Amino acid sequence: MSEECNHDCGSCSQECGERDLHEKLHEKSTVKKVIGVVSGKGGVGKTLVTALLASALQKKGMRTAVLDADITGPSIPKIFGTSDERATGTEQTLFPVCTDSGIQLMSMNFLLPDATDPVIWRGPIIAGAVKQFWSDVIWDNVDYMFVDMPPGTGDVPLTVFQSVSVDGIIVVASPQELVSLIVEKAVKMAAMMHIPVIGLIENMSYVRCPHCGEELHIFGESAIGRIASEYGLPVLARIPIDPALAAACDSGTIEQYDSSAFMSEAAAAVENL
């Protein structure tokens, strides 16, 4: 802290131990643990992993929630079958939409007149919306909140890391070698922000042959093991390409899909935070 510090962090450019930019939760909210689900690029399955983790822990008797921080490309309502729902609230507060099993959700699509309406906003406004999802929503006694991040290392991930008390992140990747470079960017950003990485999850890892059960790696050999070893991180799950899983996403019935065969270790890692 500078000797001339006036304790006004909002107008200060200095970095010091007393500097805290975290937004406060609503006074009626309780959130015990926050886990960010991130990747360095789009289309690798962050929303899928978020939904599977929230569903898995909810089935174990925990109270889970999802904050959809992908403001311009929200897909959490679709995967949970709540696209027709709209958030309610007052001038100062919002109430999350609840799924059939009780998972609490907040997404930009719950605030739009029509789910297909585009959100054409600049970065600062988008970042402000994410902060409001954290501070203005009344989250009811949540054990584990999962934040579905937009891809990359830009405004919104930075806003979440600085504004929300994130307990750890899970990095999602696909098997292609090109993606491994992007994964490393996400891991390094977490280190720079002093956020622990819980582990890595690989989506579209393999296809299981319906005749002999052999795992077919259609994208070639995965690089996830090398990255995990290099950074001393565990690979928490390898999610297969499964038509039944794709159908559950499309129909909004992800809560009913049994992912225990490949997601149990990831769920346990989150539960043991």
Segment 135-174, tens digit of pLDDT: 999 999 999 999 999 887 778 888 889 889 899 999 998 8
Secondary structure of residue 253 in the 3-state scheme: coil
Q: Where is pLDDT greater, at 96 or 42?
A: 96
- Contact (CB, 8 A) for 71 and 150: yes
Length of the chain: 273
More confident call, 271 vs 231:
271
> pTM of the entire structure?
0.89
Interatomic CA distance for residues 170 and 62, integer angstroms: 19
Dig out the tokens for 268 from the structure.
């346990």
Give the residue-averaged pLDDT of 89-111. Answer: 95
Place of tokens 């794709």: 246
**pLDDT (average), residues 76-96:** 94
Q: How far apart are CA 198 and CA 218, in angstroms?
A: 27
Q: What is the pLDDT of residues 213-222, one digit of tens each?
A: 888 998 878 8
Distance separating alpha carbons of residues 150 and 45, to the nearest angstrom = 11
Q: Angle, nearest 10°, between helix axes 46-59 and 260-271?
A: 80
Mean pLDDT of 90-104: 95
pLDDT reported for residue 226: 85
Contact in structure between 201 and 182 (CB atoms under 8 Å): no
What gap in Å lies between CA 26 and CA 24, rounded to an integer? 6
Find, among 176, 177, 151, 238, the residue nearest to 203 by Cα: 238
From 114, 111, 103, select the one nearest 80 (Cα to Cα).
103
Which whole number is the average pLDDT over 186-195? 88
The most confident of the ranges 95-109, 113-127, 206-220 is 95-109
Strand residue runs (E) in 39-136: 64-68, 88-89, 94-95, 97-98, 104-106
- What is the predicted pLDDT for the residue at 16? 47
- Spell out where 56-111 has E strands: 64-68, 88-89, 94-95, 97-98, 104-106
More confident residue, 115 or 28: 28
Instruction: Find the DSSP H helices in 171-242.
Output: 177-192, 224-231
- Parallel, antiparallel, or unpaired for β 94-95 and 207-208? unpaired
- Residue 127: is its pLDDT beyond 60? yes
Q: Answer yes or no: are the C-beta atoms of 98 and 104 closer than 8 Å.
A: yes
